[in-house]
Homo-oligomer: A and B are copies of this chain.
Amino acid sequence: MSGSTLGHLFCVTNFGESHGPAIGCVIDGCPPGMSLSEADIQPELDRRRPGTSRHVTQRNEPDAVEILSGVHEGRTTGTPICLLIRNTDQRSKDYGNIVQTFRPGHADYTYWHKYGLRDPRGGGRSSARLTAPMVGAGAVAKKWLKEHHGIAFRGGMAALGEIDIAFEGWQHVPDNPFFAPNASQIGQLEDFMDALRKEGDSVGARIVVEATGVPVGWGEPLFDKLDADIAHVMMGLNAVKGVEIGAGFASVAHRGSMHGDELTPQGFRSNHAGGVLGGISTGQDIRVSIAIKPTSSIRTPRQSIDLQGQPATVETFGRHDPCVGIRATPIAEALLALVLMDHALRHRAQCGDVRLPVAPIAAHLPDA
């Protein structure tokens, strides 16, 4: 395949550019018979869309999704579902000043050398705008996973720049513009972002997402392990530079006598594994953490070169997120859902018949 399709059995093929007429995706392999309409998808797109607070890009896109195929009389037919999102707010002139140069840290240098030409309008294909169709596809996956397995998703920001965000409860996530599972630090985060915006600079973030209710047994060793496929899709998300499952890099300093999650008839005692052992789900919560780098489109002047290879100074105006991590939570949830959906189908293809006389243990000890 040529890189724009995600998944082996629940396949999502993405198309479009930031400032072309439309973006979208084709979902091939969705099981038939599930009720589905735009109303199931739009709320997830609304969580991701720009222009919802002063801390994100002011581009004003309704991101209204249209289902073009694969649904008949309100039910999936088992045939490809095409989701279409028209681009409406395409101020290409915003980008006029960067056509002749390369932003340090941006993909426009590598795209140019790979393809021999540039689509400078909003980054073209490299824009984070292309995550919108994935959020749409993720909504379809989430619905099926919930209905068939009771799987739920949650996520939020764990760090904004150097500020660690204390976990105070998932219920706080919808109540602030940062998707922070926290109520007490929101003022601090807002002040930080306001100052950053004034400076014309940008900052990174760390996001955590979880899936609960995943059955034991999903994942396809040797190479398409569940955690491997999660790492693939997360590292493929714009601006991500690191991925952790469970204890992640903290595992380096762990001893085996402490790291391995003990099993009891009542459930697991801990979850350093992040829900995956040997590349296969354990039944525990799948827990993923990702590092997002600061946006490369900033007002602060930086040294670069132009298309002729001569020295140039770059300042990016236009409308950009000063921290792309702020809108990353619903995207990362969607990507996790897409990986799990694919593995749900892969698992039942090969091992759908397997029945053991002993039930799996619980995800947690009752009191954990």
Within 8 A of B (CB), among A264-281: 264-265, 269, 272-274, 276-281
Contact of B26 with A260 in the complex, beta carbons under 8 Å? no
Of B110, B233, B302, which is within 8 A of A223 by CB?
B233
Task: Output the nearest chain B residue to A301 by Cβ-Cβ distance.
Answer: B257
- Does A247 make an interface contact (CB < 8 A)? yes
Smallest beta-carbon distance A338→chain B, Å: 10
With contacts A72-B124, A105-B277 known, is A252 near B114, CB below 8 A?
no
Q: Enumerate 23 A-B pairs (CB-CB under 8 Å) in ascending A order.
A: A2-B9, A2-B11, A3-B29, A3-B223, A3-B346, A5-B5, A5-B11, A5-B28, A32-B354, A77-B115, A104-B260, A105-B260, A109-B277, A110-B217, A110-B276, A114-B216, A204-B259, A231-B234, A248-B291, A249-B249, A251-B292, A265-B305, A345-B349
User: Among residues 1 to 30 in chain A, which have CB atoms less than 8 Å away from a CB atom of chain B?
Assistant: 1-6, 8-11, 13-17, 20-24, 26, 28-30
Q: How far is it, in angstroms, between the C-alpha of A281 and the C-alpha of B32 when the chains are bound?
A: 18
| Selected contact of A253 from candidates B80, B161, B231, CB within 8 Å | B161
Set of chain B residues within 8 Å of A113, measured between Cβ atoms = 216-217, 280, 283, 356, 360
Most chain B CB atoms below 10 A, which of A30, A104, A264, A359: A104
The answer, yes or no, to whether A50 is at the interface (CB within 8 Å) is no
Determine whether the beta carbon of A31 is less than 8 Å from that of B247.
no
A168 on interface, CB distance cutoff 8 Å: no
Q: How many copies does the complex hold?
A: 4
Neighbour of A281 across the interface among B1, B110, B130, CB < 8 A: B110
Known: A11-B2, A72-B17. A310 touches B265 (CB 8 A): yes
Residues of B within 8 A of A216 (CB): 109-110, 113-114
Question: Across the two chains, which residue of chain B brings its CB closest to A228?
Answer: B236
Query: In the complex, what residues of B have CB within 8 A of residue A93's CB?
Result: none
Question: How far in angstroms is the closest Cβ of chain B from A245?
Answer: 5
> Do the beta carbons of B252 and A161 come within 8 Å of each other?
yes
- State whether B255 touches A202 (Cβ < 8 A): yes
Residues A206 and B249 in contact in the complex (CB < 8 Å), given A77-B117, A280-B111, A294-B255: yes
Q: Could you tell me if B354 and A79 are in contact, using CB atoms closer than 8 angstroms?
A: no
> Is A264 a contact partner of B77 (Cβ separation < 8 A)?
no
Query: Nearest chain-B residue to A67 (Cβ)?
Result: B21
Measured between C-beta atoms, what is the minimum distance from A146 to chain B in Å? 15
Smallest beta-carbon distance A151→chain B, Å: 16
- How many Å lie between the Cα of A206 and that of B242 in the bound state? 14
Q: What's the Cα separation between A355 and B69 when bound, in Å?
A: 23
Q: Complex Cα distance A105/B234, Å?
A: 24
CA distance A345 to B252 in the complex (A): 35
Other-chain contact of A114, B3, B203, B217, B234 (Cβ < 8 Å): B217
User: Quick one: which of A30-88 are within 8 Å of B by CB?
Assistant: 30-33, 66, 68-70, 72, 75, 77-82
**A17-B77, A72-B117 are known contacts; what are 7 more A-B pairs with Cβ within 8 Å?**
A2-B80, A15-B26, A17-B79, A105-B256, A203-B254, A229-B232, A263-B305
Q: Is the CB of B277 within 8 A of A349?
A: no
B68 touches A20 (CB 8 A): yes
